[in-house]
Amino acid sequence: MTTYKEVSADSTASGRLTLAEVLELFAAGDDQPLKFTAYDGSSAGPDDAEIGLDLRTPRGTTYLATSPGELGLARAYVSGDVEMLGVHPGDPYDLLRALADKLDFKRPSARVLANVVRSIGFEHLRPISPPPQEALPRWRRVAEGLRHSKTRDADAIHHHYDVSNTFYEYVLGSSMTYTCACYPDAGVSLETAQDNKYRLVFEKLRLQPGDRLLDVGCGWGSMVRYAARHGVKAIGVTLSKEQAAWAQNAIAEEGLSHLAEVRHGDYRDVRESGFDAVSSIGLTEHIGVQNYPSYFRFLKSKMRTGAMLLNHCITRPNNRSGASAGGFIDRYVFPDGELTGSGRIITEAQDVGLEVVHEENLRQHYAMTLRDWCANLVEHWDEAVAEVGLPTAKVWGLYMAGSRLGFETNVVQLHQVLAVKLDNQGGDGDLPLRPWWTA
């Protein structure tokens, strides 16, 4: 395989890079040989490499040159200007694993960069509009409302979740659960693992028939319906209009309307209080780190003394990294999404007076969940493309495969934090010795 140093040396001698060599500079990984081809007929890397990238248009060159790294590559890929070789667009995991070392792009030296510019031409350095699937940059979103205001949060949720319920059925399967599953063993199905996750949450919250549950950021209402099947009165709330409509229909079809309800609205607008338990499964990523104190304070205000709270969310592997997501995630997947370490989450819950009694990391389980979602997308690829269009389907394959790699390599984690609301004397409602749930 032609290496970065070899390309640089060759370019010094010849004075110009081929487009395939430029593509290799921007994307070549170190662990696996990749093949790069381009519309000028050039190629780089070993001819027998099974996976690689094909630069198909001058527009793709501009995307790569004006935004080197993951965002530029995503723009070129989503728009069809770069194609992935040797992998299915619904699960490009193998290629992303090979590219991982260069997705966090570091600018070449001034001499190499000058040669790149000379090779591709100055006309490719003039920025062009990104694909329509891309959200506005953060600074432009200010015009749509303050960050994590109710209006702007609703817009961000709409961008991600109101894609199509049918599309989500193809990807998520019958559980319609868009959060990390919990696999009792490696050989079980996605549906079994998701049901096991809800069983785990239900048991941790010590729910009993006749209890009242509030599920914030409830998605398609799977936790609400699980609780209702076990005799619990459950209210769920979601900012996604399509999720709420789907969930209410599913509740009615199961004959659970007397116990379960999913509302379209902001969790901050819930009026009821005195709940026996609160679950937050996949919401914390969307609310903004600076809002954690008010978030936990609000949830605590909805709980009776002795009630349990379970917070389930994606986290950073440490408590030092910045909260903002990378360019691709922020612009194509989760606008305004923010992640922090589990230590910050525990601290904020404690600082509002909740007692944290347990936490655990399900990082490997989320990698397996994403593996299975990608398998579903591959299986239903033609139907998914017909439903949402090829560019959006490609975004989802890229996002889920990349996220799987992130969980496998400890770039991100998934933590469940369990807490209880104490009385004024520190009483916890006579909790049994922990743990009272099964693994």
Q: What confidence score (pLDDT) does residue 413 get?
A: 97
Q: Are strands 35-38 and 43-44 parallel, antiparallel or unpaired?
A: antiparallel
Residue type, 145: G
pLDDT at 105: 47
Q: Is 377 helix (H, G, I), strand (E, B) or coil?
A: helix
Strand 212-216 to strand 275-281: parallel, antiparallel, or no bridges (unpaired)? parallel
End-to-end CA distance of the chain: 47
292-317 per-position pLDDT tens digit: 999 999 999 999 999 999 999 999 99
Q: Name which of 157-161, 330-334, 431-435 the model is least confident about.
A: 157-161
SS3 279: strand
121-135, 176-190, 374-388: least confident range: 121-135
Letter string b/e over residues 37-70, b meaning 16 or more CB atoms within 10 A of that residue's CB: bbeeebbbbeeebebbbbbbeebbbbbbbbbbbb
DSSP, collapsed to helix, strand or coil, labels residue 352 as coil
Domain formed by 154-421, architecture = 3-Layer(aba) Sandwich (3.40)
C-alpha distances out from residue 225 to 42, 270, 417, Å: 56, 19, 22
Ranges of H-type helices in 32-145: 58-66, 70-78, 93-103, 110-120, 138-141
Distance, CA of 69 to chain centre: 19
C-alpha to C-alpha distance for 329 and 324, rounded to whole angstroms: 10
In sequence order, the 6+-apart residues with CB closer than 8 A to the CB of 17 are 7, 10, 11, 25, 115, 116, 119, 120
Mean pLDDT of 187-199: 98
Closest among 247, 240, 219 to 156, alpha carbons compared: 240
Q: What is the pLDDT of residue 5?
A: 39
C-alpha span between 222 and 175 (Å, rounded): 7
pLDDT of residue 222: 98
Structure-model confidence comparison of residues 258 and 327, the more confident one = 258
Strand, helix or coil for residue 262: strand
CA distance 416 to 399: 23
Q: pLDDT of 54-83, one tens digit each?
A: 999 989 988 888 887 788 889 999 999 999
Q: Give the integer Cα–Cα distance in Å for 164 and 186.
A: 30
Residue percentage of the chain with pLDDT more than 90 = 67
Helix (H) or strand (E) holding 234: strand 233-238
Residue 13's pLDDT is what?
42
pLDDT tens-place string over residues 124-182: 677 788 888 887 665 444 555 555 455 545 454 444 455 799 999 999 999 999 999 99
| Reported confidence tier of residue 112, pLDDT bands at 50, 70, 90 | low
Domain ranges, ordered by start, for the chain: 4-125, 154-421
E strands present in 335-412: 354-361
pTM score: 0.88
What is the rounded distance in angstroms from the CA atom of residue 277 to the CA atom of residue 383?
A: 39
Q: Report the pLDDT averaged over residues 26-30.
A: 61
